[in-house]
Amino acid sequence: MTLFKCPRCGATSSSDWVCKCGFPMEIVPEKLIWSVDEREPSIWRYKSLLPHAERIVSLGEGLTDLRRVDGVLVKDETRNPTGSYVDRGSSVMVSSSNMAIGELEFLRDVTISLASYLIASGKEVRVIVNPEEVDVSELLYLSQLKIPISFSVRETRASYENPFMIEGFKTIAYELYEFKGKFDGVVIPSESGILAYGIIKGFRELEEMGLMEMPRIYLVHYSGIGGEFIEFLKSLGARTMSLDTKDTMESFIKLAKMGIYVKPISAMAYSAASRLGSEYVALLTGSSMRRWRVGSFAPLTELQRRILEVMRDGKEMTAYQIWRLVEGATLQGVYKALLKLSRMGLISSERKLYKRRMKRVYRLRTSANRL
Ligand SMILES: N[C@@H](CCOP(=O)(O)O)C(=O)O
């Protein structure tokens, strides 16, 4: 039986993926003995350290290139089957979690990855797209993938912040240990911090097995990131770092010229690693969906920041209630900012019966830690 444990408060459960305290749970490994099946060209080479899988669903994720690009060590996660590190987590989730979800909320690269693995496992998948928030090029991309789409404004279960994804992400640490052994640190692009947490979990397990010491961990982030989960990662020793846009864009173009198409935040990781030293590894993330918004790279506006601040306690609110709290903005401005924050994945919204009328209510996502 899988045992879940909250990394913050220590509560355990045999079924909950999210702790009552709001943190994503992690899986407690049954035994920690380093073992690698060297013939297996995927994350499943570490099968004995991953959750039990009835049937492994793999598209060959993991074993991504580790090499130097202009002197900087990079781990190129764009080389995963759907172009994203998320494939590592999707493979574990679909193989090990008995997930019954056939409907996925559209979370861009996360959904593309998870849907690809669910389809490979023979499950029927439908992606629920909110017609008020999706943009047409994303819609076209989804339809080209021939993934059935339904339009609805309702929310479905979050598919990213969960213990199985974390197990998949920890294999990045295992690969760094297996193929590099010694290095000073890793620079990880971070938004919610889930990817970084998975990697840190992998290093902690390697440490517990007596194989290596925890390397230095740098989380690179868009300016303004913070909040509970990132603070928790800092309490585990992670440091945060943010570079300016110009620097990041120069790296973005440099990498693209070399055929490495990364998300802007990963270009920042590349710049940061080049400053930290030649034995720092920059983790490069990308996605098969090459349409990365510069908007989600730009720092939050003052109004967006104030809105996140008033939503901080996690309560649901209508746009009108939020507008009453933020002061000095127009209602239309608040609507625009809410749409932007939804697109950035920082808040969620759904239509609900509210005081006898159907209204859209907004809530801060648990991982929206950019305050
Ligand atoms: N989603 C980011 C990487 C990290 O995301 P996080 O929310 O897990 O911190 C990317 O694709 O670059």
pLDDT tens per residue across span 272-320: 999 999 999 999 999 877 655 544 445 678 898 889 889 887 788 999 9
Amino acid identity at 21 = C
Cα 220 to Cα 208: distance, rounded to the nearest angstrom: 26
Q: Ligand 1 centroid to 314 CA: how many Å?
A: 21
Q: Ligand 1 centroid to 158 CA: how many Å?
A: 15
Region 329-354: what's the mean pLDDT? 82
What is the number of alpha carbons within 13 Å of residue 327 lying toward its C-beta?
2
pLDDT for res 343: 67
Residue nearest to atom 7 of ligand 1 (CA): 192
Which residues line the pocket of ligand 1, CB cutoff 6 A? 189-196, 263, 265-266, 285, 367
Contact predicate 184/215, CB 8 Å: yes
150 or 202: which leads in pLDDT: 202
Return the beta strands (E) in the chain as ranges: 4-5, 12-13, 26-27, 66-69, 72-76, 103-105, 126-129, 149-151, 185-189, 216-220, 239-241, 280-284, 317-318, 347-354, 357-364
Give 177's contacts (C-beta < 8 A, 6+ positions apart).
203, 206, 211, 212
Contact predicate 353/361, CB 8 Å: no
Q: Which two tokens mark 364?
A: 């801060």
Adjacent-strand bridge partners of 68: 73
Cα 361 to Cα 371: distance, rounded to the nearest angstrom: 20
Is the pLDDT reported for residue 78 higher than 90? Answer: yes
Among the listed ranges 86-90, 136-140, 317-321, 345-349, which one has the minimum average pLDDT value? 345-349
pLDDT for res 291: 56
Q: Which CA distances in Å does 163 have to 14, 25, 75, 140, 169?
A: 12, 6, 23, 31, 10
Report angle CA 297, 302, 308 to the nearest 5 degrees: 80
Q: Which two tokens mark 367?
A: 């991982």
Most confident residue range from 16-20, 24-28, 327-331, 340-344: 24-28
Q: Which atom of ligand 1 is nearest to the CA of 109?
A: 11
Region 148-157: what's the mean pLDDT? 70
Q: Tell me: ipTM over 0.90.
A: yes
Among 191, 192, 288, residue to substitute to test ligand 1 (most atoms within 8 Å of Cβ): 191
Region 160-174: what's the mean pLDDT? 95
From the list 237, 227, 254, 246, the residue with the least C-alpha distance to 188 is: 237
Contact predicate 62/42, CB 8 Å: yes
Cα 370 to Cα 179: distance, rounded to the nearest angstrom: 34
Query: Cα Rg for the chain, rounded, in angstroms?
Result: 20
**How far does the chain reach from its first CA to its final CA, in angstroms?**
37
From the list 297, 296, 308, the residue with the least C-alpha distance to 370 is: 308
pLDDT for res 298: 55
70 or 341: which leads in pLDDT: 70
Residue nearest to atom 1 of ligand 1 (CA): 191
Among 190, 262, 266, 290, residue to substitute to test ligand 1 (most atoms within 8 Å of Cβ): 190
Cα 14 to Cα 187: distance, rounded to the nearest angstrom: 33
Cα 3 to Cα 20: distance, rounded to the nearest angstrom: 15
Where helices occur in 209-301 by DSSP H, the ranges are 228-235, 245-257, 264-276
Residue nearest to atom 11 of ligand 1 (CA): 285
Region 349-371: what's the mean pLDDT? 70
